[in-house]
Structure 1
């Protein structure tokens, strides 16, 4: 590319163009640095905020803070509590005590997917957070239909539920479907307008979106027949906005709590060498959790120990060969060897 001047031509390349002043060559900066994903994101989002940096530090040392978290979390804003819960979930530290200590009455979403939260923890959080609109309980082995019942009883505004993902959660989802079906056996009134929702349901009549990726055919047919208001596994709409368009919380490929950790360094929840469960007595010795340098050191030590006997044998052979070569090198050496053998024979006799 050339820039024409009244006096001469100035050759300017993209490799040394000053992108800050746009006034010609100043400092060579590879254009690939600006076209990389990190460079583009830096231009768009800018540096992380001080709050995000602080949350990153808290997240890296979360297991040390957990014992006193119930006492200090009362001064945190609701969004900060949600961010800490999201970090704890990603660090596999989220359980009943932790989520209860962080629960805030203003929360509208709850993401405990893949955590150790159980029925009692979910029931207590649902009792505190009555305004929940979207809840993700997928891959939770300790949550059963009893926990889902407590959830729908306390949270009458629940619109989106995520479930499934593991055998236990799949079973919980199947057993919970009856809570969302209308019960028309003992109702009074001549028209639908006269019916009270508390009389035809079990408290789960506000549900509109069910995210269950591996829903079985029988459950899907039952929902379509008896609960046509519930949309199962909605897809994002490519058309203009409509009343039936699925909200962000109902899209399966979007983490429910992602907005609360989007500005936090992902290294926060991949800290090496931490104890995932603070109550466990010992650190797991799984080699997959070791740093790569430690894996190399252990592999070298194992190989060194395996080859030690062979090295010792080679050393003995080398010594005997050296002695034999020395003995054959001169008559004086031969005489010394024979004299030594004769002396040993005399001592034995």
Structure 2
């Protein structure tokens, strides 16, 4: 058996065409290993694994509470998109405050979503002065934002196209208060020549604002904004709106503004689990609560604004009724009315 096996060895070697590497006649041919064609496993349902940056952001987001005390020192080393992603994770974990937002703010940002956070007027005013290139901002469900900070936002961000607001009574009240800053108004400017007027701003308002997302807008506010047809209220998600303009994704009512920033990050990153016990940094205004007198005042002003159109309608009805009564009771007015009708009648006959 051993002799038979040894006799078959040369023929098998000849089939493999193996030669000595020192032989000058022919180079050595080394067979390549065959790679298995088994498909790679899918990680998050998209057919491809997450990027290394997304995985690092996931780990960083899960331990975000541990680095908040040093966020001011480590934030400058991050690029703008990473800062924006950290801000979005902090907002989802209910950790976003004035200090964190100002520390992460970058002038390269084009969107800002602080909806449902503890950001106040102080933080929004500082961020508006830093992020002057913002095109879309979401301030809905913010109880500590007033019209003062929104006016600063409009004054600094001249490229603002989309504004999202409302969502609760406090935010709806703020939205009604800052409507006057959205409407275009002319200023009285006096100079000696037209050349000097070129450097002066002759109008106020939000010149680039096109889309206002306010889910439960009241009729009175809608009538006020009707005077500025440039602003579309709650546009429908379609390729083109009624004016032939393409509705951007930031103006879709059922989407979050910063969803595109975190689309490649595991949602478990911002799962809230006993977060409050681990946080040591808190903004001084995060525990602010309106006094009872201020709540009553806001409720009264909201009710007064809601009933203003009805009062105006009743006033017009009373005025017309009083005019009719005066016409029927006063003989001079009645005679003038009958003379007018007679004159009109004879004019039609002729």
Task: Classify the TM-score, shorter chain.
Answer: 0.5 to 0.7
- For 1:239 and 1:70, the matched residues in 2 are separated by 43
Q: How many residues align?
A: 240
How far apart are the structure 2 equivalents of 1:228 and 1:84?
37
SS in 2 for 1:135: strand
Q: Could you tell me whether the CA contact under 8 Å between 1:187 and 1:200 is conserved in 2?
A: no
Where 1:93 maps in the other structure, the secondary structure is: coil
User: Does the Cα contact within 8 Å between 2:239 and 2:246 map onto a contact in 1?
Assistant: no
Q: Which residue of 2 aligns with 1:264?
A: 265
**Residue 114 of structure 1: aligned partner:** 116
Match of 1:71 among 43, 60, 73: 73
In the TM superposition, residue 279 of structure 1 has moved relative to its aligned partner by 4.2
Counterpart secondary structure, 1:81: helix
User: Does structure 2 conserve the Cα–Cα contact (< 8 Å) formed by 1:236 and 1:245?
Assistant: no
Q: Which consecutive unaligned segments of at least 5 residues does structure 1 have?
A: 1-19, 23-37, 189-193, 282-349
Helix, strand or coil: the match of 1:260? helix
Shift of 1:41: 5.7
Question: Residue 246 of structure 1: CA displacement?
Answer: 1.1
Closer/same/farther in 2, CA of residues 68 and 41 from structure 1, 3 Å limit: closer
Aligned counterpart, 1:199: 202
CA distance in 1, matches of 2:98, 2:145: 11
- Contact 1:91–1:276 (CA<8 Å) still a contact in 2? no
Q: 2:180 aligns with which of 153, 156, 178?
A: 178
1:245 match: 246
Q: Separation in 2 of the partners of 1:21 and 1:65?
A: 41
Quick check: 1:212–1:233 contact (8 Å CA) kept in 2? yes
Q: Give the distance between the partners of 1:197 and 1:230, measured in 2 at CA.
A: 25
Query: In the superposition, relative to structure 1, how do residues 100 and 186 fare at CA in structure 2: closer, same or farther (>3 Å)?
Result: same
Is 1:140 the counterpart of 2:148? The answer is no
Question: How much does 1:280 deviate?
Answer: 8.1
TM-aligned CA distance change 1:240 to 1:92, over 3 Å: closer
Tell me the residue number matched to 1:213. 215
The whole-number CA distance in structure 2 between the counterparts of 1:215 and 1:276 is 38
TM-score by length of structure 2 reads 0.63
Q: Is the 8 A contact 1:90 1:269 kept in 2?
A: yes
1:318 maps to none
Runs of 4+ in 1 over 4 A off after TM superposition: 38-41, 184-188, 194-197, 238-243
CA contact 2:69–2:280 (8 Å) conserved in 1: no
**CA distance in structure 2 between the partners assigned to 1:85 and 1:162 by the alignment:** 18
Q: Distance in 2 between matches of 1:197 and 1:170?
A: 34
